[in-house]
Structure 1
Amino acid sequence: MAVFTEVPPEEARALLQRLQLGELLALQGIVGGIENTNYFVTCSAGEFVLTLFERLRPEQLPFYLYLMQHLAQGGLPVPNPRADAQGNIVHSVCGKPAALVNRLPGKSQLAPGPQHCAAMGQTLARLHLVGRSFDRHQPNLRGLAWWNETAPLVLPYLGPQQADLLRSELAYQNAVAATADYAALPRGPVHADLFRDNVLFEGEKLTGCFDFYFAGVDTWLFDLAVCLNDWCIDWATGAHHPARAQALLGAYEAERKLTDTERALLPAMLRAGALRFWISRLWDFYLPREAALLAPHDPTHFERVLRERIAHPLQL
């Protein structure tokens, strides 16, 4: 989340009027993340999050917003987009496509223990299972095709060792994706960005998963790998953390058992998850956009995670 577009109070008031949510009481820009403009909105009807989409096109938005609605109706703790009197959940604010969702309770647990990881694993499996009945389709727009397109843009900024790593890992992931085993992996809607700061807790109870704007149809194993790479590592070194990983995987498999092919390909998908976020952070770091509030992430973190996943593959 970030602020690329300054939203005047009168624009927020007009949206609240269209959605019949009463008077605007407070409007606060949110710093963090790097894709969209986000504000906390407090009004007489409650607390909400306003998102203005800076890169996504209006025709792409229904997938994300209706997926959130589908998951919320399936009992998952995710934001539910607010509709206007005509049933529209894609709105316009400051000339940009926008959405307003309910603000979920709790706060992010940035130093989770095994119990938090278990709650995450259970919720991720439920998300995958509930998502099976979602009838819209959109590919993961930050998947392999995007990695292949974006790597040449960031390579000029890298040293020789980094460039060699990026080229070799991209070649490896293209080879994996061409195999029959990869094609056989179970898939469906995935969050694809379910990091610790996109999940809320009250104590040990998971109360919310948000920021679905990288979601798409991909392998469930990739989604699981993204979580393991953020929740279950030593954050300073990128090294595997066995206790947290065991808790997350055990809770996930209590809801949905991994197939033999998934178990065999998990090391490759852990590398894929690290590569995806290394490339995107390189892109955002070296080719940034202007924003009123923006906190770019350190790209070297996922370089370390990738090197760890290559040197010490996880074995189930």
Structure 2
Amino acid sequence: MSVYTRVSDDDMRVFLEDYRIGRFVSLQGIAQGITNSNYFVTTTQGRYVLTVFEVLQQEELPFFLALKQHLSLRGVACPSPIARADGRLDSTLLGKPACLVTCLNGRDTSAPSAAQCFSTGAMLAKMHLAGADFSLTMPNPRGSAWWQDAAQQLLPLLDEHDAQLLTDEMAFLAAEPHDGLPSGIIHADLFKDNVLLDGDAVAGFIDFYYACNGNFMYDLAIAVNDWARQADNHLNPILKNALIQGYKNVRTIGADEMAYFPIAQRAGCIRFWVSRLLDYHFPQAGEITFIKDPNAFRDLLLDLHGEQNIVG
């Protein structure tokens, strides 16, 4: 979450005329994240989150909003979209796609406990099961084809070692298909700042705008890579195990899935190393922005290489 599009109080008053959620009270920008413009909106009836989409197109929004509605109705902790007076879940603000969703209690953490990791893993598994009867589909917008294309922009900007690492790793992943493994709706961005916690319990998953159809182990690996990652970009084995055990407590992981999991971790590293390199080298102008360190996932990738060499 960030602010790239500046929304005024008057803009918000006009926007809220299409809703039945009370009169405008206040608007506050949200600084975290890097893709969309986000605000807390307070009205006389409550507090909501406004998202103005900087990349997604209007025709893409129904998938994400219907997904959150679907998951919320099935007991997955996540925001629920607010419908306009005409019944639509998506809207337009300042010429850009936009929506309002419920504002959840809880807060994120930068230093999770094992109990919080366990709860997060369990809720992720619950989400994977709840998505089984969701009728809409979305291909992964940041899968292997995307990172191969992005690498062509990035390789000339990287030093020799990083360029070779990225090239070799993409070749390795291309030779390790995961066809046939359990898949379905995945969050694809379940970092610590996309989970709100109430004590040890999950109050809500947020920022579903990379959600897509994909491999369940890839989704779990993305979560483990962030939740268990320490300041030195090594994984804490206690936190890693807690998140995986929480997941297993709700959904059984097959032996073939566990065999693929280390490869999924490396794929998750490439996805976020590449996206952060793009944000670093080609930053999007914004009023409040937060660019994350791309080297965190390069260093974690190198650490995972070491782990797998020891296991091998």
TM-score by length of 1: 0.96
Aligned to 2:291: 296
SS in 2 for 1:145: helix
Count of residue pairs the alignment pairs up: 310
Gaps of 5+ in 2: none
Misfit runs of 4+, over 4 Å: none
Q: How far off its partner does 1:237 sit? A: 2.0
Give the fraction of aligned pairs with identical amino acids, expressed as a percent: 40
Worse-matched range after superposition: 46-55 or 148-157: 148-157
For the residues of structure 1 that align with 2:29 and 2:109, how far apart are their CA atoms? 21
Matches within 5 A, 1:74-89: 74-89=74-89
For the residues of structure 2 that align with 1:46 and 1:70, how far apart are their CA atoms? 22
CA RMSD of aligned residues (A): 1.1
For the residues of structure 1 that align with 2:235 and 2:294, how far apart are their CA atoms? 19
SS in 2 for 1:149: helix
SS in 1 for 2:271: helix
Q: Is 1:7 the equivalent of 2:7?
A: yes
For the residues of structure 2 that align with 1:157 and 1:38, how far apart are their CA atoms? 31
For the residues of structure 1 that align with 2:162 and 2:265, how far apart are their CA atoms? 18
Which one-letter code corresponds to 2:192 in the other structure?
R
Aligned to 1:34: 34
Which one-letter code corresponds to 1:22 in the other structure?
G
Matches within 5 A, 1:275-314: 275-313=270-308
SS in 2 for 1:218: strand
Q: Is 1:244 the equivalent of 2:200?
A: no
Aligned to 2:219: 223
Q: Is 1:95 the equivalent of 2:95?
A: yes
Alignment deviations for residues 267-311 of structure 1 (CA, whole Å, 9 cap, x no partner):
100000011000000001001111011011111111111111111
Aligned to 2:208: 212
Aligned to 2:131: 131
Q: How far off its partner does 1:17 sit? A: 2.1
Gaps of 5+ in 1: none
SS in 1 for 2:51: strand
Which one-letter code corresponds to 1:81 in the other structure?
P
SS in 2 for 1:207: strand
Aligned with residue 253 of structure 1, among 241, 248, 255: 248
Worse-matched range after superposition: 215-224 or 17-26: 17-26
Alignment deviations for residues 12-50 of structure 1 (CA, whole Å, 9 cap, x no partner):
112222111111111011112111111110111100000
